[in-house]
Structure 1
């Protein structure tokens, strides 16, 4: 299976407004990419940001926020890494070895998945000229390899540009949620897609991490899509009035 697209678009873009990006929304592995792992691992966070695809689709179809959604697993090629990152084709993740990636042809994976994904995302954003980008991810309540329980229900990540994040942190907190500020990951170290497509172009963005147990089922995905859409719209209004 060599023709599988690494991305798809949901919803109609219009110039301005808000768009959504889901780099880790899929657990799909093409037949000709042997990872050498147990099939059940494809349902874990090492392979996919659980719940993100459903939230992004709902945002696009029910809330008018079109989405650029990844269609391959992060274990095949991590689209949210720079091309020269050792983790762009991960040999291990959260304590699990990925045998098929140990001696993988990284250049072939980049040419087949990473570059087309980002070229299409760049063109899509150039057409949309969005006023705000929502980069949607999810995180585990606790890493499989150990560590502390993660208390945050939602978090905002950012690198240098925190102008939208500051508003969203406040707005999610006003909803009674426990909000992480550059937790459990720091956008100053891990912000590849938004560094390239938002910060490099001066586009405001929200990198939103939702704890995966909050969005595992369809009803919760519907609820969170409405919440994220509402916070994004209120953030955009706050940016415009600043």
Structure 2
């Protein structure tokens, strides 16, 4: 594979001086031209298997509202999942939710390495750069990973409006869970997914390994599939995230 790709990420918003760095691992749908759409129809690529539906709109509106910087992956998770460690069994899936991905079958080590070097690593290097710059200024930093989830998976309905995922440091997640539940929402605590040492990559790498406060948010896709819902959730998070951070700083005696 010798194709040269454009940057694998986009940066939105601006640093408003707050602690939040927003990241979105599955916001894009792009596929390198030489992969011929991975052998899938446009309808299949547009499903939840290809990207986190609606999270692009939420992330950009949230970045504007806080304001904050958003680092967003532009390539489809079917090309390579930027929330999986290199070499993880689901880093490059051969099938997803019952759909086989023809161009991901029997990949060579060279093809896998190219996707990692062209897409995965530059995205995470950009996140690292953003965090390093703020820490060098001795600023407080909170990593906020934005995701969305399909309302039905394997014919099982998911009742949660939003889920908060956490593992080794649950402090900020638990504060946010309480704030969201106070709004009358059905909030998943490590639902519909659980954050573990091996299931995810972004929060373990940029949050846990650095001992930075962090939060991983999953919003149900039918709630943010359209601009109105995206605006509603961006406004909600723009209000609650600063509240959660103030509570965190008071409770754990951290510099705001």
Query: Normalising to structure 1: TM-score of the pair?
Result: 0.95
**Correspondence for 1:140 among 135, 147, 150:** 150
The residue number in structure 1 matching 2:23 is: 21
The residue number in structure 1 matching 2:45 is: 42
| Structure 2: gaps spanning 5 or more residues | 252-256
| Structure 1: gaps spanning 5 or more residues | none
C-alpha distance in 2 between matches for 1:14 and 1:87: 36
**Correspondence for 1:90 among 90, 93, 101:** 93
Contact 1:15 1:128 in 2 (8 A): no
1:56-135 equivalence runs, <5 A: 56-104=59-107, 105-129=111-135, 130-135=140-145
Contact 1:131 1:236 in 2 (8 A): no
C-alpha distance in 2 between matches for 1:65 and 1:176: 27
Contact 2:65 2:238 in 1 (8 A): no
Aligned length: 240
C-alpha distance in 2 between matches for 1:234 and 1:184: 24
C-alpha deviation, 1:15, in angstroms:
5.6
C-alpha distance in 1 between matches for 2:119 and 2:150: 25
Q: Deviations over 1:177-200 (max 9, x none)?
A: 000000111112523100000000
- CA RMSD in angstroms comes to 1.4
Q: Could you say which structure has the larger radius of gyration?
A: 2
Structure 1, 116-125 or 73-82: larger mean CA deviation: 116-125
Q: Deviations over 1:36-95 (max 9, x none)?
A: 111111211100100000011111123302101011000111000010201111111111
Structure 1, 1-10 or 164-173: larger mean CA deviation: 1-10
C-alpha distance in 1 between matches for 2:28 and 2:72: 8
C-alpha distance in 1 between matches for 2:22 and 2:8: 16
Q: Secondary structure at the match of 1:32?
A: helix
